[in-house]
Amino acid sequence: MSSVPPLPESTSSAPDLIACDIFCAVIDNFGDIGVCWRLARQLASEHGWQVRVFVDDLHAFQRLCPSLALDLARQTIAGIVVEHWHEPTHAGDTLDVADVVIEAFACELPPVYVAAMAQRERTPVWLNLEYLSAEDWVADFHLRPSPHPRYPLTKTFFFPGLGPGTGGVLKEQQLDAARASFEASPAAREAWWLNSIGHAPPPATATVVSLFAYENPAVDSLLQQWCDSARPIVLLVPEGRISGAIARFFGLPGFAAGATAERGSLRAHALAFTEQANYDALLWASDINFVRGEDSFVRAQWAAQPFVWHIYPQADDAHLPKLDAALAHYTRTLPADARDAFGRFWHAWNGAGQPDWSEFQRHYPALKRRAAEWADELAQVGDLAGNLALFAKTQLK
């Protein structure tokens, strides 16, 4: 890491060099910065953009990016400038406005920055990157302009989504090749197990489950069903908000990285919270992935394995239509019995009833086929970074 000079506006005059500022306020632990950091890396590495990220919570960011220094106001990581953002008025040590300005998840730009945008000779492309939703209305609002009430500026809403007419979701160009290489290499898989878990891979008779979730009252029922399973269950649990429930179930004081616990057919391993580059391998190594929020939800889809989504809960159950919309996309071609079982399990995991593991397992072959088909379908929408970069280039004048 090193300090770098401020982004000069003159660099944007080069037709192939686009400067981009991403503003991120961390609200949901890691989800917000997780998406922004993936987007920043992809815009820099695959599109050659000069990217700066403003983030208000360096501690949350450091969990995803261990090389981040907590005591620096400005630093460079992987060619990306990171500014510790003291919202709402702070706009960096030096006020420089980029060609493309991304306001992530309606975090609101500093007023001084917006005023400087209006004074800039080359009008910047201003995008409000929204949260991911699979609902049908997203395609209607994607790329809808919103003129500023006072300045000659227009903000455009950019909606991630799972269907045509949306911005798609993040996917690096090399991701499929990396997954295929991992799956085709017994040596790579064994090395991952030894390095991450401290054990050789389990026998083929075992079902490997990764569990990344918010606090969840259904977890005790599911853990007991795994204990009573006819087949061995190997549970991999990254440290997080579900760790306390795992510890209580096994009667342990905690369930931190390196801990193991066993009861009946269930053997559980606690993993350190991993940086983004290593999370995909956890998903690839598992037969079923429990994920939460937005970032891990997307990664589970690219892993092409059956998964269960713990959607971020909202007041008055406002999250449930989003859950149902995702189910409608994902289960569209499943046989009716598998579709119904899958939907019941997702709803139970999100607070409506108790999850039925044996029913879920009965439909695993169909769910496995659908997971691979869905990854191919989703890729047809295009990746979010590529769609965003293409739109921005058409708007830059």
Task: Name the β-bridge partners of 207.
Answer: 233
How many CB atoms are located within 10 Å of the residue 378 CB?
21
Strands 100-104 and 125-129: parallel
CA distances from 390 to 17, 271, 319, 385, 396 (A): 14, 38, 31, 9, 10
Please, are residues 106 and 26 in contact by the beta-carbon 8 Å criterion? Answer: no
Q: Which of 83, 99, 239, 294 is catalytic?
A: 294
Q: CA–CA separation, 45 vs 48, rounded Å? A: 6
Query: d(Cα 170, Cα 302) in Å, to the nearest integer?
Result: 10
User: Omega into 335 within 30° of 0, i.e. cis?
Assistant: no
294 is catalytic: yes
Phi, psi of 239 (to 5 degrees): -55, 135
Residue 32 annotated in active site: yes
User: 32, 83, 280, 295: which one is catalytic?
Assistant: 32
Q: Which residues pair with 260 in a beta bridge?
A: 269
Query: One-letter amino acid identity for 61?
Result: F
Catalytic residues, by residue number, are: 32, 294
